[in-house]
Amino acid sequence: MTMITLDKLPALAEQIAKLPGILSANPWTAVPGKARIYLETTKHNGGRAWNGGVGFQQCYIEVPSGRLVVRGEAGAATRKWHAEHTWPAIKAILAGE
């Protein structure tokens, strides 16, 4: 995994935002030393309003470590889909593949 620098944050977020399963990827740099890329993910089960209409409630990439943090509730089908598709694709981007 490569270290993420603040100057690469916008381009990295733009690349991640294009992945299937990602609705948005937004860089956040408001607090020095706590930069992140917040992710909004798709959901693959439940009603339209279930879980606020998104896949995971809290999902982000820590900067500069590149650690993917996935928290909050999501249905089983959503967790499985992202584990098989989205998370490996993000990790490949972060690894520079």
Q: What is the pLDDT of residue 74?
A: 78
Q: In residues, how long is the chain?
A: 97
**pTM, 2 dp:** 0.85
Contact 94, 4 (CB under 8 A): yes
The confidence score (pLDDT) of residue 42 equals 86
Half-sphere exposure of 64 (CA within 13 A, CB side): 9
Domain range annotation of the chain: 6-94
Question: In the prediction, which pLDDT does 68 show?
Answer: 92
- pLDDT the model gives residue 61: 93
Predicted pLDDT at 54: 64
Token representation of residue 82: 């992202």
- pLDDT in 10s for each residue of the chain, 97 residues: 568 889 999 999 999 999 999 999 999 999 988 999 999 888 877 666 665 666 666 789 999 999 999 987 777 888 888 999 999 999 999 988 7
What letter would DSSP give residue 24? E
Which helix (H) or strand (E) covers residue 6, if one does? Answer: none
